[in-house]
Chain A
Amino acid sequence: MIARAGGAVAALALLPLALSSYQLDLLTKMLIFAIFAMSLNLSLGYAGLPSLGHAAYFGVGAYTVGLLAVRVWDNFWVDMALGLAAAMVAAALFGLLALRAEGSYLLMITLALAQVLWGVAFGWRWLTGGDDGLPGVPRPAAGLPLSLAAGPRFYYLVLVCFAGSVAVLGLIARSPFGHALVGIRESARRMEVLGYNTWLYKYVAFVLAGLFAGLAGNLFVYYNGFVSPAYLSIVFSASALIMVILGGAGTLLGPALGSAVIVYLENAVSAYTPRWLLVLGVVYVAVTLFAPEGIVGFARRRKTGSA
Chain B
Amino acid sequence: MEVSFYLIQILNGVSFAMLLFLLAAGLSLIYGLMRILNLAHGSYYLLGAYVALSVARGTGSLLLAAVAGTAVVTAVGIFMERVLLRRVPRAELPQALLTFGMLLIIGDLALWIWGGTPQTLPRPEALSGAVRVGSFFFPAYRLFVIGVGATVGVALWLLQEHTRFGAMIRAAIDDAEIARTTGVNVSLLSTVVFALGAALAALGGIIGGPMLGVYPGADFEILLLAFVVVIIGGLGSLKGAFVGALLVGLLDTFGKARFPELALFTIFAPMAIILAVRPTGLFGGR
Contacts and interface: CB of A to CB of B under 8 A. Distances in A.
Interface in B65-113: 84, 87-89, 92-94, 96-98, 100-109, 112
Contacts of A105: 231, 235, 279-280
Contact of B275 (A97, A120, A287, A292): A97
B256 to A, nearest CB: 10
A182 interface: no
Q: Is the interface of B mostly helix, strand, loop or mixed?
A: helix
Residue among A105, A277, A283 with max Cβ neighbours from chain B (10 Å): A105
Contacts of B220: 234
A141 interface: no
A123 B101 contact: no
B276 interface: yes
- Chain B interface size, as a band, is 35 or more
Contacts of B263: 119-120, 122-123
A277 B111 CA distance: 10
Interface stretch (A108-116, A190-198, A219-227, A259-267): A108-116
Interface in B228-268: 228, 230-231, 235, 260-265, 268
B92 A242 contact: no
B222 to A, nearest CB: 12
Contacts, number: 119
A26 interface: no
B167 interface: no
A interface, size bucket: 35 or more
B37, B88, B96, most chain A CB atoms within 10 A: B96
A288 B88 contact: yes
Contacts of B224: 111-112, 115
B265 A50 contact: no
B264 A277 contact: no
B97 A107 contact: no
Interface of A: 44, 50, 52, 97-98, 100-101, 103-105, 107-109, 111-113, 115-116, 119-120, 122-124, 234-235, 238, 241-242, 245, 275, 277-278, 280-285, 287-289, 292
Interface of B: 31, 35, 37, 84, 87-89, 92-94, 96-98, 100-109, 112, 220, 224, 227-228, 230-231, 235, 260-265, 268, 271-272, 275-276, 279-280
